[in-house]
Structure 1
Amino acid sequence: MASAGKTLQFTKGSKKTGNRGNIKKMTLTAMLAAIAVILMYMEIPVPFMPGFIKLDISDLPALFGSFIYGPLCGVFICLVKNVLHSFATNTMFVGEISNFILGCAFVIPAGLIYKKKSDKKGAVIASVTGTVAMSLLSIVSNYFFVYPIYYNFMPKDVILKAYQAIFPGVHSILQALVVFNVPFTMLKGLISVVIAWLLYLPLAPMMRIED
């Protein structure tokens, strides 16, 4: 009976620990999502880019969450920030859908790789892979989805001329995306990676869920 009592007591303790861990994870994920929404509004113009392209680091909390709690957490943060941001824009959800797709391309491979190889080398591989995936997908997303819809509001030749005003050597939207948007998206990802790792070292131990 004593042995059974100890087993029951241990089981209850484990359940309570698991519940506390889940609450902690949900709370911190919600906090990261809230920070992502705020950062999405803090966009700034970028030199040598058309005026309609702005830089924000709202993928940073999603990457952070993906490293600590896994890629699903990162995807959830990307979803929440874009859904909430869509209510304050008039872009017919186009920008938010594209942002969500690119954000997932960033945090999913990064989170999966780091989950399997949780050391410095794995972190570098995860970060670079996520950044490259997001940058390459930005060509497909913008060329086939975002810009064709934006052409209804801003003619294609006007958009192209905005790029040509900076670099006359581009003669098509596809060239403009390769020359301008890929480096821009890569820079955006690398900024998030650097800040994420500066914050990860001191904050991750406090945010992890104890077994």
Structure 2
Amino acid sequence: MQNSKTKFLTRVGVLSTIAFALMYLEFSVPLFPAFLKFDLSDVPALLGGFALGPLAGTIIELIKNLLFLLIKGTMTGGVGELANFVIGTAWVVPAAIIYRKNKTKKNAIKALVVGAVSMVVAAALLNYFIMLPLYAKIMPIEAIIAMGSAVNPNIVSFETLVLFGITPFNIFKTSIVSVVTALMYKKVSPVLHK
């Protein structure tokens, strides 16, 4: 029993460290508002969720964001890291639960798609009702909307920022990260299950 707990913690620790390192490789995508950064840090959380269960994926999401906040600091007052954690968890947990029930390639794809849809919906709702209002306390909402409008003239309000900026970005992000996860999982799965 103790040995399995140690293995679990070790794997979660390694995956969290990789996820944290991948957060540093973030970059803006020219088609989306500049404050939305793309990175592959959800890949280790999804891999951990698939191999070790939804709790592992959640812990990986939490640790990577806490480390990023503590070591890099933040210009978002922690709102960006909170959003990354909550929205990442909204993706990882459903995907891990679905995959856990039937560990086939077909079910892995289904899990990634359902998790991605869950994340996109959760991100839209959480950003509209919680995250953007919190972020607006640090930066004027007009400036946030202007950043969106600079890349998409359809972004003229809070609502259109979520609809035409954040939601398409999250569809793009979940698509890329899901493909990378699907390509990597079978290769790293034997190591995660040893």
Q: So what's the TM-score if we normalise by structure 2?
A: 0.92
Which segment is superposed worse, 120-129 or 196-205? 196-205
Contact 2:77 2:138 in 1 (8 A): no
Corresponding residue to 1:186 among 164, 171, 179? 171
| AA partner of residue 146 (structure 1) | M
Corresponding residue to 1:118 among 93, 98, 103? 103
Q: Counterpart of 2:115 in 1: which secondary structure? A: helix
Match of 1:27 in 2: 10
What percentage of residue pairs aligned between the two structures are identical?
38
**1:89–1:161 CA distance, 2 compared to 1 (3 A):** closer
Match of 1:12 in 2: none
| AA partner of residue 49 (structure 1) | F
Corresponding residue to 1:44 among 18, 27, 33? 27
Match of 1:5 in 2: none
In structure 2, C-alpha distance between the alignment counterparts of 1:171 and 1:90, rounded to whole Å: 24
| Equivalence map 1:17-166=2 (5 Å) | 18-87=1-70, 88-166=73-151
Q: Which has the larger radius of gyration?
A: 1
| AA partner of residue 180 (structure 2) | I
| Equivalence map 1:195-210=2 (5 Å) | 195-209=180-194
Note the C-alpha offset of 1:150. 2.1
In structure 2, C-alpha distance between the alignment counterparts of 1:31 and 1:151, rounded to whole Å: 35
| AA partner of residue 83 (structure 1) | L
Match of 1:9 in 2: none
> Gaps spanning 5+ residues in structure 1: where?
1-17
Contact 1:49 1:166 in 2 (8 A): yes
**1:207–1:153 CA distance, 2 compared to 1 (3 A):** closer
Cα offsets for 1:98-141 (capped at 9, x unmatched)? 11110110110000000112112211110001111111111112
Note the C-alpha offset of 1:144. 1.6
CA RMSD in angstroms, aligned pairs only: 1.5
> Gaps spanning 5+ residues in structure 2: where?
none
| AA partner of residue 39 (structure 1) | L
Aligned length: 192
Contact 1:139 1:174 in 2 (8 A): no
Contact 1:62 1:75 in 2 (8 A): yes
Contact 1:55 1:188 in 2 (8 A): yes
In structure 1, C-alpha distance between the alignment counterparts of 2:132 and 2:21, rounded to whole Å: 25
| AA partner of residue 69 (structure 1) | L
Q: So what's the TM-score if we normalise by structure 1?
A: 0.85
In structure 2, C-alpha distance between the alignment counterparts of 1:62 and 1:170, rounded to whole Å: 32
Note the C-alpha offset of 1:158. 2.1
Contact 1:65 1:74 in 2 (8 A): yes
